[in-house]
Amino acid sequence: AFNVSGIQTTEWANAPDGRIPIITHKITDETGAKQELARSKLNITGLPRINTGAFDYELVSTGKFETFDLQSSIGSGIASLAAAVGLTQTVIGGIVNRPTSPYVGSLASSPEEDPCGQGNWARLTGGYANAEGRYTDAVSGKSGTAPISLNYRGLQVGTDFACFGGKYNGWDMAFGGIAGLNSGSTSNNVFKVDSSGVSTTDLLSITTTSFGQKYGGAYVTASRGRFFSDLQYRYDDTEYTSTNTAMPGEDQVVDLTGSVYNTKGSTISGSLGYSFPIGEPADGLSFVSSTGFALSDLSTGKIGLGNDGDLKVADTKSRIGFLSGTVAKSAVRPDGESLLSYFGTFTLYDDFGNNQTAVYTPAGGVGRELTLSNAGKYSEFSTGFDFVRVLDPGKGSKARQFNANIRVDTRVGDDLDSMGIAAQFRLQF
């Protein structure tokens, strides 16, 4: 036994494994170790207070009380930021840019008309999403949650050359391009963690982020009889601006003020489906089944954290699959030149890509990895209507047909609830 008196000052750096041994007992018997600890006293002062720095620290025991280590974990503010950035990318990819077919429909025309022509369309979107991300410090194993609230709005336009009436060996096909803009904001509440590393309900700070996205791409659609399909490619560039604000009376959690960073990515998506009539044709009832995918590769720049270093979300491969069923009721309007349809759709989504990762590197230090969650499985119920009207191209316009659609989407999952609306129209020339 020995005694150490006086003030002992030791300077440590965060070890690669996040642990620094403080006391090691040579007694391997658990009872003996407990007896020895009962005769020992250890006071450690001078560590940063929990919830106030880039790292949190706690004393942990290993083995059967043989060793006590000082364990470091990435601070909750930085870990929450990483989870929020990763989840925001997932929400933008799966909800803001919901996997949706180009707005190309069939053309009601007579046999003597030219079956080909240009089509122009536009789509407006808006809504919100509340989601909860999870993070795990790959070194210490400490985990926590990062709830985000996101609001968005968007505009997409498209133009194509489409041929109907089975022009391509019995197939109707369209070839076109798209361009669009999305914008919105997110809010991420950062909660305190207790001395054991567990998240509490005490609000520490709020990280707010605004984002703007621009994208462009190309598509092809094909249909024959009751079968339809599409394939799209999209390249997008998203800019984020983030600021962390401490709650009154709390210390600043992370040095994040107006930090700007970008995500660039490409997406290939597609779907195919089949429409089944229900009952007699005069009833106007149908069931439409559809399945599809959206495969995205994303790359995010470093997020500058001032004196706290930087955060880098690793390149991500988002993989979303979906399966849907729609029941629709259609009826010709009394004018004989327009058709109105009502529909309800249920869709299952699965974000089956690998969990994202991020690396936090303190100023002058060694990088530490975080594992982040994605959106997982969620379901969507949609309802709305379609309107089609045959036009007279000789009356002030060359357009032959007008299509319009309004859809309301409600989504729910274990860590997600969301609602959105989309309105679109098309003119076929």
Burial of 85 (0-12, 13-18, 19+ CB in 10 A): buried
Q: What is the pLDDT of residue 1?
A: 44
Output the six-digit token pair for 235.
Answer: 């390249």
- Provide the greatest CA pair distance for the chain: 105
Estimate to the nearest angstrom the gap between the alpha carbon of 326 and the chain centroid: 25
**Please, which residues bridge with residue 133 across strands?**
146
Show me where the domains of the chain are located. 82-428
Q: What is the pLDDT of residue 74?
A: 85
Q: What is the pLDDT of residue 24?
A: 53
DSSP for 273-325 reads EEEEEES-GGG-EEEEEEEEEEEEEEEE--EE-GGG-EEEEPPEEEEEEEEEE
Q: Which SS3 state, helix, strand or coil, does residue 194 take?
A: coil
State how far the Cα of 380 lies from the Cα of 99, in Å rounded to an integer.
12
Q: What is the pLDDT of residue 175?
A: 98
Q: How many Å from the N-terminal Cα to the C-terminal Cα in the chain?
A: 94
Are the C-beta atoms of residues 359 and 370 closer than 8 Å to each other? yes
State how far the Cα of 65 lies from the Cα of 49, in Å rounded to an integer.
25
HSE-CB of 57 using CA atoms within 13 angstroms? 18
Q: What is the pLDDT of residue 53?
A: 61
Sorted by sequence, the CB contacts under 8 Å of residue 11 that are 6+ apart come out as: none
Q: Which amino acid is located at 176 in the chain?
A: G
Query: Which CATH number is 82-428's, of 3.40.50.2000, 2.60.120.680, 3.30.70.1350, 2.40.128.130?
Result: 2.40.128.130
State pLDDT tens for residues 28-59. Answer: 555 555 555 555 555 555 555 555 567 777 76
- Per-position pLDDT tens, the chain of length 429: 445 455 545 555 555 555 555 555 454 555 555 555 555 555 555 555 555 567 777 766 665 555 666 777 888 888 888 988 888 988 999 999 999 999 998 888 777 788 999 999 999 999 999 999 889 988 888 888 889 999 999 999 999 999 999 999 999 999 999 999 999 999 999 887 765 656 677 888 899 999 999 999 999 999 999 999 999 999 999 999 999 998 888 776 688 999 999 999 999 999 999 999 999 888 899 999 999 999 999 999 999 998 889 999 999 999 999 999 999 999 999 988 899 999 999 999 999 888 899 999 998 888 899 999 888 899 999 999 999 999 987 766 789 999 999 999 999 999 999 999 999 999 999
Q: What is the pLDDT of residue 27?
A: 47
Residue 162's CB is within 10 A of a number of other CB atoms, namely: 24
Sorted by sequence, the CB contacts under 8 Å of residue 397 that are 6+ apart come out as: 391
Q: What is the pLDDT of residue 322?
A: 98
Q: How many helices (H) and strands (E) does the chain have?
A: 2, 19
Are the C-beta atoms of residues 181 and 216 closer than 8 Å to each other? no
Backbone angles phi, psi at 31, to 5 degrees: -65, -45
State how far the Cα of 372 lies from the Cα of 353, in Å rounded to an integer.
12
Among residues 370, 372, 377, the alpha carbon closest in space to that of 352 is found at 377
